[in-house]
């Protein structure tokens, strides 16, 4: 089933921060497409078929037609370079809250089941990746392109890289309504956008940390695919850095991926 764009327009325009929705049935990448609308603010670009989705580090983001959510929010932020990471913290955390709220309404999430954040900007469920973000920006203009891919009704994925991929259908054994899920996410983002407008960046990080359960965990970190080392996470810095203890030395890394070494 296709995204119900009329439903989205009725539910979101006028009552959330999104002021325009562009639906394109098929597109290479919603992030790339949204860059054609530099003058628009608070724009949601969504497709049912993203044919060459971009992941971090030039990777491909795989999404079968009409199965998942692939969208980009184009928003202007008037923030200092030091606070740019708040965009990442804000969108990843409140997208997680939106998905959680939706799953609770659907009564599929039990009390000891919860979504978690993984540095720098993944949402994981039961140790597998459910959602990824590619946030691009044009700092001089203050334009941010917040690209989000959420695995919903796709049962199999080809490109697992070094992490495991999950989707809602893989996790719960039933399909979900993508339109309603997206509406819930935008509503959650909207209910909290005042944190951004009031420049409550410390608060945004504090809220992000509540869904980040990896302090003290053993990890391996990689830059794209190369193994760089084994370490323990000690903190997340406000500038987005991951503070780690490696060979008894505290270091901060700003880019790369981490893989949690789970005990089981
Ligand atoms: C990652 O985890 O590597 C980031 C994945 C980001 C995928 C989304 S899907 C919508 C938007 N458009 C793109 O081309 N990529 C992002």
Residue of 192, 212, 204, 209 lying closest to 98 (CA atoms) = 192
- 151 C-alpha to ligand 1 centroid (Å): 11
- 29 C-alpha to ligand 1 centroid (Å): 8
Most informative mutation of 30, 129, 134, 136 for ligand 1 (most atoms within 8 A of CB): 134
Residue of 220, 258, 263 lying closest to 124 (CA atoms) = 258
pTM over 0.75: yes
Phi-psi region of 178 (alpha: psi -120 to 50; beta: other; left: phi over 0): alpha
Instruction: Give the mean pLDDT of 118-136.
Output: 95
Please list, in sequence order, all residues whose beta carbon lies within 8 angstroms of the beta carbon of residue 179, skipping any fewer than 6 positions away.
3, 4, 7, 8
Residue 264 confidence (pLDDT) above 50 = no
Atom of ligand 1 nearest to the CA of 122: 2
pLDDT digits (tens, 9 = 90+) for 46-80: 999 999 999 998 889 999 999 999 999 999 998 98
- 183 C-alpha to ligand 1 centroid (Å): 19
Q: Which residue has the higher pLDDT, 189 or 218?
A: 189
Helices and strands of the chain, counted as H and E runs: 6, 14
Atom of ligand 1 nearest to the CA of 54: 14
Most informative mutation of 48, 52, 61 for ligand 1 (most atoms within 8 A of CB): 61
Measured by CA distance, the residue closest to atom 4 of ligand 1 is 55
Q: With contact defined as beta carbons under 8 Å apart, do 219 and 258 qualify?
A: yes
Q: How far is CA 19 from CA 87, 91, 156, 177, 201, in A?
A: 19, 17, 35, 23, 24
Where does ligand 1 bind, in terms of residues with CB under 6 Å?
29-31, 50, 53-56, 59, 61, 70-72, 122, 132-134, 147-149
Overall size of the chain counted in residues: 264
Residue 5 confidence (pLDDT) above 90 = yes
Measured by CA distance, the residue closest to atom 16 of ligand 1 is 147
pLDDT digits (tens, 9 = 90+) for 147-199: 999 999 999 988 655 458 999 999 999 999 999 999 999 999 999 999 999 99
- 161 C-alpha to ligand 1 centroid (Å): 15
- 238 C-alpha to ligand 1 centroid (Å): 23
């Amino acid at each position: 089933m296709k995204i119900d764009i009329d439903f989205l327009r009725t539910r979101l325009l006028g009552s959330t921060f999104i002021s325009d929705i562009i639906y394109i049935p098929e597109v290479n990448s919603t992030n790339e497409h949204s860059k054609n609308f530099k003058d628009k603010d608070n724009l949601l670009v969504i497709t049912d078929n993203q044919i060459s989705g971009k992941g971090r580090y030039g990777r491909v983001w795989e999404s079968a037609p009409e199965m998942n959510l692939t969208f980009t929010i184009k928003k202007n932020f008037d923030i200092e370079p030091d606070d740019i990471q708040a965009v990442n913290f804000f969108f990843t955390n409140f997208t997680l809250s939106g998905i959680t709220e939706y799953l609770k309404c659907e009564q599929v999430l039990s009390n000891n089941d919860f979504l978690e954040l993984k540095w720098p900007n993944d949402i994981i469920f039961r140790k597998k990746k459910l959602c990824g973000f590619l946030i691009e920006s044009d700092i001089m203009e203050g334009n941010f392109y917040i690209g989000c891919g959420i695995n919903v009704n796709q049962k199999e994925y080809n490109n697992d890289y070094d992490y495991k991929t999950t989707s809602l259908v893989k996790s719960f054994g039933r399909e979900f309504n993508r339109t309603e899920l997206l509406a819930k996410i935008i509503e959650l983002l909207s209910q909290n956008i005042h944190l951004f407008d009031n420049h409550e960046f410390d608060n945004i990080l504090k809220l992000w940390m509540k869904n980040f359960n990896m302090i003290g965990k053993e990890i391996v970190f990689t830059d794209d695919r190369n193994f760089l080392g084994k370490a323990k996470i000690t903190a997340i810095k406000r500038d987005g850095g991951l503070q780690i203890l490696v060979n008894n030395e505290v270091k901060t890394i700003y880019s790369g991926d981490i893989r949690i070494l789970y005990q089981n």
